[in-house]
Amino acid sequence: MDFTVILQPLLEHLWFLIPLLLLVAVLKSARFKGWVGEVIVNLSAHFLLDRKTYHLIRNVTLPTEDGTTQIDHLIVSPYGVFVVETKNMKGWIFGGERQRYWTQKIYRYTQKFQNPLHQNYKHVKTVQDLLGLDNQQVYSLVVFVGDSTFKMQMPPNVTEGGGYLRFIKSYREEVLTPVQVEEVIERVASGRLDASLRTSREHVRHVQDILEDKTNAVVCPNSGGEVVRQISKRGDDVGEEFLGRLRG
């Protein structure tokens, strides 16, 4: 049987379903949801924070010793530098400040994800190293956008929706002079990698490598920490496999 006789008239009448299905796939993708979350934070910060006092820097990729780290937003002010990580999620969110993984629950669907405070810790340390600032000048802030509800008591720097604006405005003690604020903005501009497709792809590849390493990780019987199988590159044991500490 020649199936083209059947398929051709179907395609002629239902061709519009193809771009529609592609659009649905894009709207449901994690990348698109992340982009929407960042846009919501960008717009609210742009219109609801005094632009003479608070300076928003978006999508900052900084080099690190083992690759790159990507920061959703930096908000620079006399009251400190706020390193903002956004999460566009829905459902119930369970987690604690010291827990390694948090849980998202939507009816019967449950998934675990990395504690965003731990995720943002590396961002904060990278910013401190770049700018030469301390813990009293750089603050970690996590913002959940979307239809999510915290089901556990969260620390003050984990917020929902516009709560992150109240957190930022709660800091009223000046820890940076106007000159230092300008220096911070200039250092970020000169230290960041170009906001290009190539930079984004290289960062994604770096993250995928880290996730692959963590998948292969095992628990050290002595310390209880994670170690990963590695290949020796020096000494008498070149080429030999050993268990080494996992670098996140």
Cβ atoms 157, 139 nearer than 8 A: yes
pLDDT of residue 95 exceeding 70, the answer is yes
Q: What integer is the mean pLDDT of 193-216?
A: 50
CA 210 to chain centre: 14
Residue 235: pLDDT band with limits 50, 70, 90: low
Contacts by residues 149-155 (CB-CB < 8 Å, ≥ 24 positions apart): 149/91, 149/92, 149/93, 150/93, 151/92, 151/93, 151/94, 151/105, 152/93, 152/94, 152/95, 152/96, 154/95, 154/97, 155/97, 155/117
Q: What integer is the mean pLDDT of 9-31?
A: 52
Q: What is the pLDDT of residue 236?
A: 53
Q: What percent of the chain is predicted at pLDDT more than 70? A: 63
pLDDT of residue 199 exceeding 50, the answer is no
Q: What is the pLDDT of residue 10?
A: 52
CATH numbers and ranges of domains, the chain: 31-196 (3.40.1350.10)
Cβ atoms 81, 184 nearer than 8 A: yes
- Cα torsion 98, 118, 244, 111 to 10°: value is 80
Q: What integer is the mean pLDDT of 192-204?
A: 57
pLDDT of residue 24 exceeding 80, the answer is no
Residue bearing tokens 């960041």: 192
Tokens of 56: 């928003």
Q: What integer is the mean pLDDT of 163-185?
A: 96
Model pLDDT for residues 46-83, shown as the tens digit of each residue: 889 999 999 999 999 999 888 899 999 999 999 999 99
What's the pTM? 0.68
Cβ atoms 87, 226 nearer than 8 A: no
Tokens of 46: 């742009």
What is the C-alpha to C-alpha distance for residues 137 and 157, in angstroms, rounded to an integer? 15
Is pLDDT larger for residue 97 or for residue 201? 97
Q: What is the pLDDT of residue 39?
A: 76
Backbone φ and ψ of 141, nearest 5° = -145, 130
